[in-house]
A and B are shown apart, each in its own frame.
Chain A
Amino acid sequence: MKKKINVIKPTRRHKKRYVQIKVSFDISGNSEKELYFMFNSAFSYLHGVVKATLANLTLLDVDFQKKCLFFRVNKDCLDDFLGSLLFVKDLGLVCVVDVKNTIKKTNLKEKEKKQI
């Protein structure tokens, strides 16, 4: 006898936001890991490690020429993340260029496809 397909439970997926940030200092000497650490430590300085983990901050892409960084963060923690940018050190002036709702709007996927 065929087994019944289980009803899919509502997922616990969090909504995301995509943030484009521009810095004034040259970042070509920094690795992506170092850059991520700078932003993550600023976040945990202000909000603590638990919230920093819940925010699920991810560095998606770095444009070393334009000095732009693309981050993904949980929607619930977007304001906290933007507020914590006050404490980012060693990257010069930090500006929020854009905040998008979907990755499609950031044109990041197209860029990745072209690279492939």
Chain B
Amino acid sequence: MKEEYIDVVSEELFKNNNFLEIEDAFLSCSITIVYVVREVNNKEDVKDFELPKSEKINYKKAYLLKDLNVNVAQDVVFGYGGDVNNISKVLESKKIKYLFNPFSENLAFDEASANLAKQNNKRIIINLDDYRKQKSKAIKTIKQSFFVYEVCMDKRVDFLFCSYARKIEEVVDPLITINFLKEFKVPETLSKRVLKEKL
């Protein structure tokens, strides 16, 4: 049976590229559920947006809160991490279920954060594009990844890896993701399960 995976992409992907090409890219990577994310920087950004219609791929809405004080009454809302304050805010929040990007300049996601995430049933979303940035930033992310994944696996915190693509070429084949995660000692069975589990 063919495997079916999920991915999280930016809303910008559909503004900049041809829809048929995007769909082709997802199908060639066996991605059948796609969460289209709108970034929310202030209250004005919280507007309903249209999803592309397709028979082959199931598109769903999601919001990424860069300003954590804005309220969004939607099912899938990510809270942007990036530093210690934001990470603890998201993990303690009752409205936000998902923590997007647990990495920062210095290690911000520790064992206590993992415990809190498990207690409050949070899921951690990791953007694979962080590894492809400038070498100095990528090295920091890789270094923190070893610790974050180990802690998450130890405390049984759910996570998800996504491409957060803004262009077609930024979409990542899940088979590549699964093999890349082996570098961080994430077992194949776990990464496969994680990449299939809906939000």
Contacts and interface: CB of A to CB of B under 8 A. Distances in A.
A94 interface: yes
Interface string A29-64: 000000000000000001000000000000000000
A82 B168 contact: no
Contacts of B176: 82-83, 85-86, 94, 96
B168 A86 contact: no
A112 interface: no
Interface residues of B, number: 19
Contacts of A22: 28
B173 A96 contact: yes
A86 B171 CA distance: 10
Nearest to B135: A45
A93 interface: yes
Contacts, number: 51
Interface residues of A, number: 18
B169 A96 contact: no
Contacts of B29: 93, 95
Contact of A46 (B172, B181, B183): B183
B183 A92 contact: no
B49 interface: no
Contacts of B28: 22, 93, 95
